[in-house]
Structure 1
Amino acid sequence: MRNFKLNVVNSTRVAMAVPALIAAVFATPALASDQYIDTARVISVTPQTERINTPQQECRTEYQQQSYSQGNRSMTGAIIGGIAGGLLGNTVGRGSGRVAAVAVGAGVGAIAGDRIANSRPNEVVTRNVPVDVCYQVDRWQTVNTGYFVTYEYNGRTYNTVTAEHPGRFVDVNVMVAPNRYAPAQISYVDPGYRRDGQWRGNRGHGKHDWKDQERYDRDDRYDRDDRRYY
């Protein structure tokens, strides 16, 4: 009776292990994709430019004309005229009306004396005065915003935009997967990207490098001397 139970348990374990093994076998190709860095040849490089304006303020000294009247109004004529008018009123007046005559004579004499003394027009003087004048000046300049790069890899052309001139070759990130699961992907790798990372030993196709004798992309147009090594 014990043997029968033991066989049942073992059979159950085997029955459970078989589906798991089948699932692992079918799932393995999905994890078989590979990723590495390779080198592609640059076909053309077009600078990308943009015009920007950086206005600046500029100041300079200019001379402007200013006019003013030279000479002060004289009070001498009014004083002399007032004294003369008062004396005349004192001579003309009689009795109690002498005081009024003196006052009227002094006032009239002062007015007449002021008009006579200041009858000439004041002299107008014109001079140049320095004045700081500021202007807003446009400063247009053409700046480089990057490079539009067309490169070729494995017989196909791709485009990307780089911050610096790439030179003759660019690094590309290659992702390989079975055709029924996902298409292969090619993308540009910025200079210095993961130089010491996990792909350091995987430059070239798969685990191989350009030091190998055989090319793995079947593209024999470029020999090993045209490639860069790191």
Structure 2
Amino acid sequence: MIGARMVSAAAVAALVPSMALADSRYQYAEVLASDPIYETVSYSVPVEQCRLEDVPYREDRGHRSATGPIVGAIIGGALGNAVGHKKRNKQVGTAVGAILGGSIGADIARRQRERDGYVRYTTREVCDTTYEERYEEQVTGYRVTYRYAGETYRTTLDRDPGASLRVRVNVTPVG
């Protein structure tokens, strides 16, 4: 039994070198036809469209008055003074009330100026970008018919091979 296994292993080892001796080489085949393969592909193109528009804006009348902040400071100071009970509290209340009242008065005066301003229009260019879908036919490959050793073959390639095509020929002994 041990002898039989050794013979089998020897037979396998004898086959490996013969497979390693298989011949592979390159030859050229004649190209009979090379037809492009077309595919429709889509892509997006940005398109900018511009137009002139009348855009409103408010124009300040230009006069600014200190009346709003002053009146606010007076009213705020009076309220702050009225809230305090002791002399020191009345002084602090008056100062804080005057500051807050002046700020509130300034805000009210600013809003009033904006409201009293008048609307004017100016022409400006306004642009929007949209995308258009476009399509085109592109060659994505070639169906190639070629002849080698009297036989005709077909394949698909990513480029046109020209008049001849390089092929790999493998020769392996049988038997």
Q: TM-score, normalised by structure 1?
A: 0.38
Greater helix share, structure number: 2
Greater strand share, structure number: 2
Q: TM-score, normalised by structure 2?
A: 0.48
